[in-house]
Amino acid sequence: MNNFSEAFTFPFKDPNWLSKFLIGSVFIFLSFFLIGIPVLYGYCIEMQQRVRRGEQYPLPEWKDVGVKFILGFKYLVTLLIYYIPVFLVVIPIVLLLVVQNLDIPGTPKMFNGMEPELILVVFLIGYSLLISLLSPIISVKFAEHEKIREGLDVGDIIFLFGKHWQDALIAILLSMGVGIFAIAGLLLFIVGIFFTTFYALVVRYHLFGQIGKNMYYIPETV
């Protein structure tokens, strides 16, 4: 990924960028009521596909919102499935903690001196970090044919991550940086955070689109 700086400037090259950002900001606001989340992610996947194809203006138009909703919903389901292990680990440990804190006579001490809270924190941080690192590849795999099963092809995702881990790491670090910048929207009388959050989102998925473009690039034959 040699042109990551393009992800930060591309929106403003679109002649209709302001109207697209204003509508995007409305959906950021609607995300507080959960309504806008699938639409936003569907928009980002569509934009990622446009980056992958090398279109001049990757920001999609705000039309076919229903299609964007379905696309984003499928993508969110894909991501949610990756977090099933979190529930499988966290829920039993929390239940055991509750039982042990009740101090019922005869209840065995399951952790033998280990701090269960520490186990939870280490697991959650480690697993979340792993999924974050894989998320660009997961997104690229899903966006290629918009199929959940392709986004869940763990073997291929790990293989591709091994080949493109540097690009994935750069994309995640830059996304984190621009995410911190988005908080600056709070300084603009709260409303600005909708604008900056949308900006951070499209930058993130433009970076993912660049990774997809590199992954599926076919050199021209002479």
pLDDT at 220: 43
**H or E element at residue 214:** helix 192-215
185 falls in which pLDDT band (50, 70, 90)? low
User: How far is 63 from 23, CA to CA, in rounded Å?
Assistant: 11
190 falls in which pLDDT band (50, 70, 90)? low
pLDDT at 219: 47
4 falls in which pLDDT band (50, 70, 90)? confident
User: How far is 78 from 7, CA to CA, in rounded Å?
Assistant: 24
**Among candidate residues 97, 48, 37, 98, the one with its CA nearest the CA of residue 70:** 37
Examine the pLDDT at 158 and tell me if it is beyond 80: yes
**Among candidate residues 70, 85, 69, the one with its CA nearest the CA of residue 120:** 85
Please state, for a pLDDT cut of 70, what percent of the chain lies above it: 83
User: How far is 172 from 169, CA to CA, in rounded Å?
Assistant: 5
pLDDT at 23: 96
The DSSP symbol for 111 reads: S
pLDDT 10s digits, 84-138: 988 888 787 777 767 666 665 555 555 555 566 677 778 888 999 999 999 999 9
